Every structure is written in C-alpha cells, then in structure tokens.
Amino acid sequence: MTTAILQSAAVAQFNRKKWFTIAVPLVILAYFAYIFVSFDVAGLSERINLNNARTLVSDSYSYKTHVAQNNRDGSIAISVEGERKGQYPQGTGPDWVSLGETTVVDLGGGHIITFGPQVRYNIPGYGLVTARPDGTGVNAVFPSGDLPDFINASKNRVMMTTDAGRFTITRARAEVFKYSFGWELFFFTLDSPYYGMGPAELAAKAFSGEAGAIWQAFWTNKMWRHGDVFWALFETLLMAFLGTFGAAIVALPLAFFAARNFTRLGALRFAARRLFDFLRGVDGLIWTIVLSRAFGPGPLTGALAILLTDTGTFGKMFSEALENVDEKQIEGIASTGAKPAQRYRFGVFPQMMPVLLSQVLYYLESNTRSATIIGAITGGGIGLLLTQAIATQKDWEEVTYYIILIILLVMAMDTLSGWLRRKLIKGDEGGH
C-alpha cells in the first residue's frame, strides 16, 4: 500500500515537472510573438533609413564647410556649419577653395566645382553637370538622360551627393557641403588671433604672458560656448546634489514615523508609509512637468522634482533600516541614564549610518544622470543644451560633445561616491 502511494506521488511529481517544462517555453514563445506583432518588428526594415544613420554618425566626428554662391549677385560666402559665427572673412577661405573672378572648389579626387553665372560640377566617372539658375528654374544639363542614384533633380532644385561632398543648386543659391574630420573651431574661432596656432606656438604665447587671453578666447568661444556648457554641467550637478541631499534631510525624521519600533500609533505609521508610497509612486518626470507648470522652468524646479521622488524612496529605505536596528544596543545606552536624544545619537544613528550614506551616495550618482533629462524639461542644465542641439538637426558634433561631457561627469561622480563610501563607511583611506 505504501509503495503504491509513493509510486503515485512520484508519477504526479513527474507529470507536474513535465507540464512545467512544456508550459513555460510556450508562454515565453507566445510573449515574444505578441511583442513581434504589437511592436511591428517586421515593419522596422521599411522604416529604417541607413543613409540618415550614416549621416548622423559622420556628423558626430566631422564638420561641414559651406561654400555658397548667391545666384542673384554672384557673391560667395564660406562658413563652418553654415553659421555666421563661423564665417570666413570676405576674401578668405580654406585652401581647397580658390577665390577670384571665378571661384573653384576642389573637393579632391577630381571632383571640381566652378561657380559663376553657369555652375559646373565635374564628377569623375560620370561627366560634367552644368546649370544656369535664373527665374525660370535651375536649367541643369546632365551627361545622360538616365540620372544615377546620387543625383536628385527637379525644375527648381538639383542635389548631387558623392563621396567627396554634397552640392545643391536652387534658383537663388548654389552651395557646396564638404565634410572634414574633426571638430573645427573647437578651441578658437576664426576671428581669434590664436586661430591656426599649433601647441608649441600657443605654449610660447602663454609663457610670454598671454595665458589669460588664450584661456579667455577658448572659454568665450562663440561656436562651442565652453563657458555656457560647463555652467550647464554645474547646474546639472547642483540639481542632483540639492535634490538628493534635500530628500535625505526630509526623509530621515519622517522615517521614524513609519518605523514600527519607533511609532506605536498605527494610524500615524500608516499615514507616513502611504506618503512615501505616493511620493515615489509618481515618476520624477511627472513631478518635473507638474512643478514646471507651478513654479516655472529652472534648475530649482528640477531639484524639487528629484527631492520629492527620492523623499519617498529614502523614507521607505530608512524606515526599514530603523526597524532592523539592534534594540539591545539602545537599551544598553539607556541603562547609563542617557536622554532620548543621546539614545538616538549613540544607539540608532551609528547602526543605520552605513545604509543611509551608501544609499544617498548611490542616488546622488544616479540622479546626476536623471538631472540631464529633467533639465531638458525644466529648461536647465546640460539637458537643455543637449535637446537644443538635437532639435536643430545640424550640429551633431555638438551633441557628441555634450554626451561625452555627461559621461565624464557620471564617471567622476561614480568615482567620488565610491571613494566616499569606502572612506566614510569602511574607514578605508587608501581606496583599496
């Protein structure tokens, strides 16, 4: 009888395991099938644009020089990224542009563009494209009737994109876009007396007493705005710092009301816990939107959003740490005749301090990243500059610059918080 019962139990257990091994893969397969259909994964290949992706990547590590002719008066303007702040003085330009009665642009590899009343582009392997833009249209003439893929032409616009660059002709304007490696004008603008100087020449100038002027020219760079960028980084860090430590200061006393061993009144404990649930249940971005409508944009609004969210998180963690303190240590201090404040100072805080410092420093590091997104909404910090650079769809090297600075800031905060945790919690001054 006992043997039969054991065999029946073994069979039942085997059937349960068999059902589990079959059901779980089927559920996972159904889940991924749902994702495939709901997110239209099959249509991703139709929506993706590899040309835009290549342009975005190349823009992140290169810059464009614009050579433009006004077809109405024949004037030539040369500028970096098409900005007035990066415009070459009249009569000057890069060495691949020959200025004169007829301006010739040598893009390299035999790609020669000649400006004038008649615009010409000699494309190796294809032939000579000519155009005479006027009020009737571009009036372009091509070597053959069938246009290759790199030419897009209509009556009023012709665009030719080759490996050497891009050339666009409209009735009013003919413009060359040449990509070059690097971040042009990153250190000094064209109107700076230090533009074009090498490191050795700059060092000599600095030692001769011009170090302050060199730094000022770099810091006030009108193209890259280094001073504004680093001030925005400081605002981002300030938002994270004020929000994180402000939340810790607010949450610590409230945590005593939510801890079971410090608050015997259930209604008060319930209210404190629900307050923490409410504050951390609303995402920081939602708090940002609400507060920006109430207080207007600015870094302080972002700091308040971080403070509200983290107050709920810290309150929950601190209250749980308080519930896990050793009561015997508190009783031992009380037996010496210590007052309530002394019991907290020497019996409670030393036990929960490692948890408090560890979590606050971790969230400071995390909020440094969050402050970037919050700043984009509240109009403060590096997040605002980042979204502005992305919205222009023009200077992706600036986007790369901001992203690199954000990553370096996060790395620095990670290193600093790790060092502080070791020093304050473990007492390790060597950093090992």
Distance in angstroms (rounded) separating the CA atoms of residues 301 and 291: 6
User: Please, what is the average pLDDT of the chain?
Assistant: 84
Predicted confidence (pLDDT) per residue in 315-359, tens digit: 998 888 888 776 666 667 666 666 666 666 666 667 777 778 888
Give yes or no for a contact between 312 and 275, defined as CB atoms under 8 angstroms apart: yes
Give yes or no for a contact between 375 and 383, defined as CB atoms under 8 angstroms apart: yes
Structure-model confidence comparison of residues 63 and 334, the more confident one? 63
Distance in angstroms (rounded) separating the CA atoms of residues 335 and 325: 17
Query: Which 3 state secondary structure label does DSSP give 202?
Result: helix
Predicted confidence (pLDDT) per residue in 10-19, tens digit: 555 655 666 6
Query: Does residue 432 carry a pLDDT above 50?
Result: no
DSSP 3-state percent helix, strand, coil across the chain (nearest 5): 60, 15, 25
Query: Which 3 state secondary structure label does DSSP give 137?
Result: strand
Range of lowest pLDDT (34-38, 309-313, 316-320, 402-406):
34-38
Query: Does residue 430 carry a pLDDT above 50?
Result: no
Predicted confidence (pLDDT) per residue in 135-148, tens digit: 889 999 998 878 88
pTM, 2 dp: 0.79
Query: Does residue 9 carry a pLDDT above 70?
Result: no
Closest CA to 149 of 126, 119, 133: 126
Per-residue model confidence (pLDDT) at position 259: 84
Per-residue model confidence (pLDDT) at position 146: 83
